[in-house]
């Protein structure tokens, strides 16, 4: 049973702002690569710096922009940060925001940020490149709505920077090149989440299977990683689960990890 979030979303923001507890984060099977550990440490350090800067009356905000290929675990990492710092994680449902209040987005974003300014949590902007694209590159179909979202987020971040807030802002994007440069510059930290190396994948997979109680052949795991050097964390997780299902169906005789290429459609 999932833990209940401590932050209660106001009625007028329900559906637009989602808050979840991270107390049940699967820490026992989660693998923290060195690159992500360094990012976590920088966020913790920035939290301390933010508090000291605010005491000095100087503007600073604990905000991190994570970028990298799809499937590298950016969103999961944000949940891990919330778990480690004993916080809820909140995020804006951009799809519903744009579809539900088309033409009225700025006001809702202002309301969301005003509410979140009073909360102590991880505030995630997921898939930032889908809504905060470079101004001037937006198609006619959206009527300038995405540009208005970009400007509203920048104004809201400026508002946060000038005030004492306890929220930790994390944004995630697969395409940092699409995010408006003026918005990118407002983040205190920008870090790339790289693909796992093969040795890291082996460690992660073996740990996952051990925690799940699945016997495995390490040579099989090493071969799987060697044959799929570009596979993402998301794909690894899918392969692990699919092969566990096959292992169970086969009477738990032998666990074999393999990768099946997804079918492509013309």
Average pLDDT over residues 210-237: 93
Give how far the C-alpha of residue 6 lies from the chain's centroid of Cα atoms, to the nearest Å.
20
Separation of first and last alpha carbons in the chain: 42
pLDDT band of residue 170 (cuts 50, 70, 90) is: very high
* 151, burial (CB in 10 Å: exposed 0-12, middle 13-18, buried 19+): middle
pLDDT band of residue 265 (cuts 50, 70, 90) is: very low
DSSP letter at 132 equals S
For the cut 80, the answer to whether the pLDDT of residue 2 exceeds it is no
C-alpha span between 109 and 97 (Å, rounded): 9
May I ask the CATH class of domain 11-192?
alpha beta
Average pLDDT over residues 8-36: 90
Residue 129's pLDDT is 81
Query: Are the C-beta atoms of residues 56 and 124 closer than 8 Å to each other?
Result: no
Query: Are the C-beta atoms of residues 205 and 221 closer than 8 Å to each other?
Result: yes
Give how far the C-alpha of residue 10 lies from the chain's centroid of Cα atoms, to the nearest Å.
23
Average pLDDT over residues 241-261: 93
Query: Are the C-beta atoms of residues 65 and 176 closer than 8 Å to each other?
Result: yes
Model-level pTM? Answer: 0.85
148 Cβ contact list (under 8 Å, min separation 6): 105, 106
Q: What is the mean pLDDT of the chain?
A: 86
């Amino acid at each position: 049973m999932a833990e209940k979030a401590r932050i209660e979303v106001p009625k007028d923001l329900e559906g637009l702002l989602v808050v979840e507890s991270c107390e049940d984060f699967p820490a026992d099977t989660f693998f923290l690569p060195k690159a992500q550990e360094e990012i976590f440490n920088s966020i913790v350090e920035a939290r301390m710096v933010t508090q000291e800067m605010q005491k000095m009356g100087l503007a600073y905000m604990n905000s991190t922009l994570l970028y990298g290929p799809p499937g590298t675990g950016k969103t999961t990492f944000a949940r891990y940060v919330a778990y480690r710092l004993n916080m809820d994680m909140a995020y804006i449902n951009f799809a519903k925001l744009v579809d539900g209040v088309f033409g009225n987005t700025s006001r809702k974003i202002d309301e969301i940020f005003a509410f979140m300014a009073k909360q102590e949590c991880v505030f995630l902007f997921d898939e930032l490149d889908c809504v905060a694209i470079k101004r001037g590159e937006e198609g006619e179909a959206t009527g300038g709505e995405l540009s208005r979202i970009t400007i509203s987020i920048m104004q809201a971040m400026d508002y946060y920077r000038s005030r004492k807030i306890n929220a930790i802002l994390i944004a995630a994007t697969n395409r940092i090149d699409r995010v408006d440069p003026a918005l990118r510059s407002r983040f205190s930290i920008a870090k790339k989440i790289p693909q796992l190396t093969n040795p890291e994948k082996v460690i992660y997979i073996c740990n996952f299977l051990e925690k799940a109680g699945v016997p495995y052949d390490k040579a099989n795991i090493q071969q799987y990683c060697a044959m799929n050097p570009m596979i993402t964390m998301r794909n690894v997780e899918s392969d692990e689960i699919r092969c566990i299902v096959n292992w169970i169906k086969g009477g738990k005789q032998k666990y074999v990890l393999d990768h099946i290429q997804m079918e492509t459609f013309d």
